[in-house]
Amino acid sequence: MKERTSEKILLIISFSAIISLLLITIFIFVQGMPLIFKVGLKNFFSTHWAPTKGNFGILSMIVGSLLVTFGALIIGVPLSLACSIFLAEFAPPPVQKILKPIIELLAGIPSVVYGFIGIVILVPLIRNTLGGSGFSVLTASIILGIMILPTIVSISYDSLVAVPQTYREGSYALGATKWQTVLMVLFPSARSGIIAAIILGMGRAIGETMAVIMIAGNALKIPGSILDPVRTITSTIALELGYSTGDHRAALFACGSILFIIIVLLNIIAIKIARRE
């Protein structure tokens, strides 16, 4: 009897998480979608954003979000994978004991601190070495690439460690070197875990707001090079929500809906890739 009650309570609690997700989704769509139909898809997916003057084009922000997210993955994924392979397979135990908590600590640094470091160090560095204003796609990608490190490292490390020891021994018995074992045995066996790690890292990058606002420059023009400033969807919502009223406010919720759809699509694509044999 007691067990059944606690089971019920746990069930209700777990459902409350799903329900709040559902309520958030419904709320965002109800607030945002009517505007898209009111102004028309052509206006909404144009590149001209001036919501106080009736132009609601969010295309440049969609491009901006995708650019900085993929930029972050290009910088972050190789670093994270190298790091997790080193930690799981090559690092001597004392090194591993120091390195792993330090990398996990990166996840605990508030994003405004990353943004601050970006604005004080990276922005002037990029402006002086590569040109442009320093507020750019590249700057945002580098900072985001570092921000997604701990997520990808810790999950792919766990999935690499979870590969049974017998697989490694079998591989060595066939004469494979350590590196060949990593590439041909461990990676394929840990693949789903590694892809899950990348998906979570991608979610963090596309949703990151504060650091991006501080270093991306937030210009509304579609960037012509990686040294041009860029505006993401989340930046627009955070920058303008405090000031917005009426249609402008609804447009920001519509931005949120589009962001939601993009994230779901990216996840579906990533899962499809993961399952393909």
Partner 1 sequence: MAKNPNIKINVQGGGSTAGIQAVFNKTCAIGTSSRYLEPSEQSLHTYTMAIDGIAIIIHPSNPITNLTHDALKDIFSGRITNWKDVGGPDKKIIIVTREEGSGTRGAFEDLIMHKTAISDACLVQDSNGAIRETIAITPQAIGYISAGLVDERVKPLSIDDIYPSVENFENGEYKFIRPFLLLTKDEPTGVVKSFIEYILSSEAQKILQHEGLIPVSIINNERTNL
> Least CB distance from residue 28 to partner 1, whole Å?
20
Q: Bridge partners of 56? A: 49
Binding to partner 1 by residue 78, rule CB under 8 A?
no
- Pick between residue 33 and residue 119 the one whose CB is nearest to partner 1: 119
Binding to partner 1 by residue 231, rule CB under 8 A?
yes
Binding to partner 1 by residue 178, rule CB under 8 A?
no
> Least CB distance from residue 90 to partner 1, whole Å?
41
Torsion angle (degrees, nearest 10) of CA 32, 34, 37, 38: -110
Query: What is the distance between the alpha carbons of residues 39 and 35, in angstroms, rounded to a whole number?
Result: 6
Binding to partner 1 by residue 46, rule CB under 8 A?
no
Binding to partner 1 by residue 243, rule CB under 8 A?
yes
Of 36, 229, 232, 253, the one binding partner 1 by CB under 8 A: 229
Of 158, 240, 263, 271, the one binding partner 1 by CB under 8 A: 240
Residues 6+ apart with CB under 8 A from 68: 137, 140, 141, 144, 205, 212, 216, 230, 232
Is residue 178 within 8 Å of 102, Cβ to Cβ? no
Is residue 46 within 8 Å of 57, Cβ to Cβ? yes
The span of 2-10, 126-134, 172-180, 192-200 binding partner 1 (CB under 8 A) equals: 126-134
Query: What is the distance between the alpha carbons of residues 265 and 29, in angstroms, rounded to a whole number?
Result: 16
Which residues lie near partner 1 (CB under 8 A)? Answer: 48-52, 60, 119-120, 123-124, 127, 133-135, 213-214, 217-221, 229, 231, 238-240, 242-245, 248
